[in-house]
Amino acid sequence: MATVTLRNIHKSYGDNEVIKGVDLDIDDREFVVFVGPSGCGKSTLLRMIAGLEDITAGELLVDGERMNEVPPDKRGLAMVFQTYALYPHMSVAENMAFSLRLAGMSKAKRWERAKEVARTLQLEPLLDRKPKALSGGQRQRVAIGRALVRNPRVFLFDEPLSNLDAALRVQMRLELSSLHDSLQSTMIYVTHDQVEAMTLADKIVVLQGGVVEQVGSPLELYHHPNNLFVAGFIGSPKMNFLPVMTTGVQDSGTNVRLPGDAVVTVPVQPKMLMVGDRATLGIRPEHLRIDANNPTVMGEVLVVERLGGETYLYVKIAGGDTFIVQADGDSRAKVRDHVPIYIDGHLCHLFNADGLAVPQAERHHLTLSTPEVSQTQASHQTYAQHPQSSQTD
Amino acid sequence: MAASVVSRPQQKTTAPAGLLVAPAIIALVLWMVVPLAMAIWFACQRYNLLSPDNREFVGVQNFVYVLTDSSLWISIGITLMLVMSVLVITIGLGTLLAVLFNQEFAGRGVARVLAISPFFVMPTVSALIWKNMLMHPVNGLFAQVTRGLGLGAIDWFADLPLLAIIIIVSWQWLPFALLILLTSIQSLDTDQMEAARMDGANALALFRFVVLPHLSRAIAVVAMIETIFFLAIFAEIFVTTAGGPGLATTNLAYYIYLKALLEFDVGGASAGGLIAVVLANIIAIFLMRSVARNLDT
Ligand SMILES: Nc1ncnc2c1ncn2[C@@H]1O[C@H](COP(=O)(O)OP(=O)(O)OP(=O)(O)O)[C@@H](O)[C@H]1O
Ligand SMILES: [Mg+2]
């Protein structure tokens, strides 16, 4: 059992306020990921939870107990650092058993415990090595082992994989994920890697400038971003945005006019936008299609990025805006081609003049109940996701 | 030396390369060998400046004479004592101060400069300051303070001469140790400290398990450099106690000086000098070994 609760947490360095009131509830066994642009205060927030940084104002509770004044080692948390922070003069075993040694455990006992943890992390053959004789991935594992040994209530990770190469990062990501499954403990994880956040998290917390922009399951953030910032931050390549004008509001959706005079109907809740309101239309590159039968807008290809499996087209559409379109890996599009682009209103997002999302009429079927929607539940939900003509003249 | 330049056309390059390197090697050899040879030469002579004509080759007689001289052994003992105690004091206090000066506090920059400044004072000058202004039994600051407290005064150079010298030399060299150890402490990864804190280390455990191991290399380097200088302490003794009272503060360097310039016994002094070289070498080898071991772990 370990829940973490943040109540109106603030942090200031002198006059510089870097965390501006964060409220957050983290449930037992939840894997929570903090994401946000560099300097938004992710590490600071994590370090405040760890106890390495004083909390300027607000309250931190672990299992309902106030932790503000409790020293780091008494909070029952363990942290894995980006730089690993292993003790260079101690062997792997000594590194892992250091906290037990400080706690006064007998040598035989702590050796036993270090061995046990080493076994789960495949570190057994390395127990006698010094950290400098290990590869990056092995060091990372030792750092995780050092956290595991303490049997903490909550694990804290600060960008633990960012010093590893791409292949190793994928492998460690899978290992972390299975570790979470087997340990069933609460984990808080800081990253700026989209994929890590989307794949590992039960709950993502998007931060910007010391403020929480949105909290939700990965798919909630993907399908129902609260505002322009979250919409642009989650997803890669980033969501396309277009300034539009509201031209009609019906119960079934809101009509908006694109700069090139095309009109798209977006099924958002009515009465949130009035005819004549300015708004922003957002659509993800993977939701745009090259479709000669049903073109919403025409565009000129500026750049073609071929990744093999898919192709990204940077397309300039009427009105001067640039779209990124994710096309097939074997798309034949070339630079300076004119391509027809089909915009499906059901896959679009609308944001009002303040940058806040206009709620969609229907929730995405994967985001309906709790984050852990079971397979059977999900299959009963039938929402039209296939392209429909939403084009009006 | 030149052979390592290229592998195949060695025959051709060896001669000119050797020629080009020769001046440096010759200079180096002269630099080292000539004084050593002269010292050995004089050490084998009966050569007293009071009767310069009475000069002859006597073989190892000077060595026998010096080695059987009990004052040589006393001076070696005093040298070792001086070196060891100053090493312990400067490194011990230096480590503590380095930890202290690494903390954030108001006026840290100024405090650091002040702490390091004794190192810039010449040994003779600092010895004079200590002798006349601090440790003087009548005018000295210490005597005035203790007398003011009704405790009487200590005549440092008469009653505790070796301790007085140790204090003076420590005062001079503490800044050196502090400087090196402080830079080393500043290179300590803060994440490591924080990881240790999360592992439950209090201040003492942090020092013992994280800071001290990190400092071990720097400490070894400080010990080595200081030893080399402490084996040859002279000015402080010359200015304050002149090796006395009796032989209480006569270290090896001062013993040689006494032999050569007070007894005018060039032969004996040279023999003493060679013994000092051997001693310094033994200590240097011992130190180098331990430092080298420290440096590669
Ligand atoms: N000791 C400090 N004194 C003053 N300002 C600080 C201090 N530590 C961090 N900050 C500021 O607080 C803000 C948040 O820093 P933080 O390290 O939490 O960012 P981050 O989200 O972890 O960024 P990154 O992704 O680059 O690691 C930054 O603007 C930073 O300049
Ligand atoms: Mg950070």
pLDDT digits 0-9 by tens, A248-304: 888 888 999 988 788 899 999 888 888 888 999 999 999 999 988 888 888 999 999
Compare B236 and A302 and report the one with higher pLDDT.
A302
**Would you state the torsion angle of the CA atoms of residues B210, B212, B218, B219, taken in this order, to the nearest 10 degrees?**
-170
**What is the average pLDDT across A102-129?**
89
Lowest-confidence segment of A159-163, A202-206, B23-27, B243-247 by average pLDDT: B243-247
Residue B4 has pLDDT above 70, yes or no: no
Q: For A267-295, give the DSSP string.
A: -B-TTSS-TT-EEEEEE-GGG-EE-SSS-
Pick B191's closest partner by Cβ from A51, A78, A81.
Answer: A81
User: Which residue has its alpha carbon closest to ligand 1 atom 18?
Assistant: A41
Selecting from B191, B195, B213 the residue whose C-beta is nearest the C-beta of A89 gives: B213
- What is the mean pLDDT of the segment spanning B125-148? 82
- Name B58's Cβ contacts closer than 8 Å, sequence gap at least 6: B44, B45, B46, B267
**Structural domain B79-296, CATH architecture:** Orthogonal Bundle (1.10)
Report how far ligand 1's centroid is from the alpha carbon of A55 (Å): 14
Q: Stretch B63-92: mean pLDDT, rounded?
A: 87
Best mutation target, A43, A47, A52, A53, to test chain B (most B CBs within 10 A) = A52
The pLDDT confidence band at residue A95, using thresholds 50, 70 and 90, is very high
Domains of chain B, by residue range, sit at: 79-296
Cis status of the peptide bond prior to A71, with omega within 30 of 0: no
Instruction: Check CB contact under 8 Å for A72 and B191.
Output: no
| CATH architecture for segment(s) A4-232 | 3-Layer(aba) Sandwich (3.40)
Q: Which residues pair with A328 in a beta bridge?
A: A310
- Tens of pLDDT, residue by residue over B193-228, are 999 998 888 888 889 999 998 898 888 888 888 888
Ligand 1 atom with minimal separation from the A40 CA: 21
Query: How close is the Cα of A163 to the center of ligand 2, in Å?
Result: 13
Signed CA dihedral, A219, A221, A223, A224: sign only: positive
- For tokens 């001693």, the residue is B279
Of B291 and A203, the one with more pLDDT? A203
Tokens 């798309």 appear where? A331
Q: Do the interacting molecules here have an ipTM over 0.85?
A: no
The per-residue pLDDT for range B261-283, each reduced to its tens digit, is 777 777 878 888 888 888 888 88
**Residue A263 near residue A312 (C-beta atoms within 8 A):** no
Sequence-distant (≥ 6) Cβ neighbours of residue B183 within 8 angstroms = B218
Q: How far is the C-alpha of B284 from the C-alpha of B227, rounded, in Å?
A: 8
Antiparallel, parallel or unpaired: β A154-158 and A77-80: parallel
pLDDT reported for residue A380: 40
Q: By CA distance, what is B210's nearest residue in A? A: A87
| Phi and psi, residue A265, nearest 5° | -100, 120
What letter does residue A359 receive in the DSSP assignment?
Answer: P
Tell me which fold the domain A237-390 belongs to. Answer: OB fold (Dihydrolipoamide Acetyltransferase, E2P) (2.40.50)
Residue type, A78: A
pTM beyond 0.90: no
CATH 2.40.50.100 positions along chain A are: 237-390
Least confident of A55-59, A85-89, B103-107: B103-107
- Asked whether A15 lines ligand 1 (CB < 6 A), one says no
How far, in Å, are A45, A188, A202, A331 from residue A29 at the CA level?
19, 10, 9, 44
- What is the number of CB-based contacts under 8 A between chain A and chain B? 60
3-state helix, strand, coil in chain A (%, to 5): 30, 30, 40
CA dihedral for A159, A165, A166, A170, sign (positive or negative): negative
Q: Cβ contact (<8 Å) for B201 and A50?
A: no
Q: Is the pLDDT of residue A371 over 50?
A: no
| Residues forming a β-bridge with A334 | none
Contacts 24+ apart (CB under 8 A), A96-105: A96/A142, A96/A145, A96/A146, A96/A148, A96/A149, A97/A149, A98/A146, A98/B196, A98/B199, A98/B209, A99/A73, A99/A146, A99/A149, A99/A150, A99/B198, A99/B199, A99/B200, A100/A149, A100/A150, A102/B199, A102/B200, A102/B201, A102/B205, A103/B200
Pull the structure tokens for residue B174. 């503490």
In the predicted structure, residue A384 carries a pLDDT above the cut 50 = no
